[in-house]
Amino acid sequence: MGLNLEIAFLFSTAGIVFAKVLPRDPAFKVLGIPNRWLLVAGFSCFSVIVELLLQRTGSFHWYYSWWNERQPLLIVIFGYATFYAAAAWVHDLPTLEGKLKVTGALAGTAVAGLVVFGPILGWI
């Protein structure tokens, strides 16, 4: 699993920065593009560019032939766009209760994945 300091810092701060950048109006469009989708794409591309730069310096490594600098679109879509889209979705939920439920479910899924892929399967 690609867990390192860069990933930990990026994911721990990027969601907060992303949420602070979101316009209050989810329907607001930029050049005819819904702002949420435009920001999801922009932040995802920026995050992959950071990874590409770190990889080129030798401080970051991809280990899979299908998940590396030759496949940046795959990482943009599945590595980051899902994260930023979920952050926008939670941000736009109308109630604190809803936000807590979705965030809790996502956190629970992450913990379950760490347990299954860590001690049980030994992949981590």
User: What phi and psi values does residue 29 have, to the nearest 5 degrees?
Assistant: -115, 145
Amino acid letter for position 10: L
Q: Where are the domains of the chain?
A: 5-92, 94-124
> Is the pLDDT confidence value at 53 over 70?
yes
**Residue that has been written with the tokens 């952050």 in this structure:** 87
What is the structure's pLDDT at 5? 73
Q: How many CA atoms lie within 13 A of 107 on its CB side?
A: 8
pLDDT tens digits for 59-79? 778 878 888 889 999 999 998
What 3-state DSSP class applies to 5? helix
Cα 123 to Cα 117: distance, rounded to the nearest angstrom: 5
Q: What is the mean pLDDT of residues 99-113?
A: 95
Q: Where are the alpha helices (DSSP H) in the chain?
A: 5-21, 35-57, 72-74, 82-92, 96-115
What is the structure's pLDDT at 72? 92
Higher pLDDT, 50 or 6: 50
Higher pLDDT, 6 or 96: 96
What is the structure's pLDDT at 105? 96
- The tokens for 85 are 């889209």
pLDDT band at 80 (very low <50, low <70, confident <90, very high): very high
Of 83, 82, 86, 87, the closest CA to residue 19 belongs to: 87
What is the structure's pLDDT at 2? 55
pLDDT tens digits for 2-44? 567 777 777 788 888 999 999 999 999 999 999 999 999 999 9
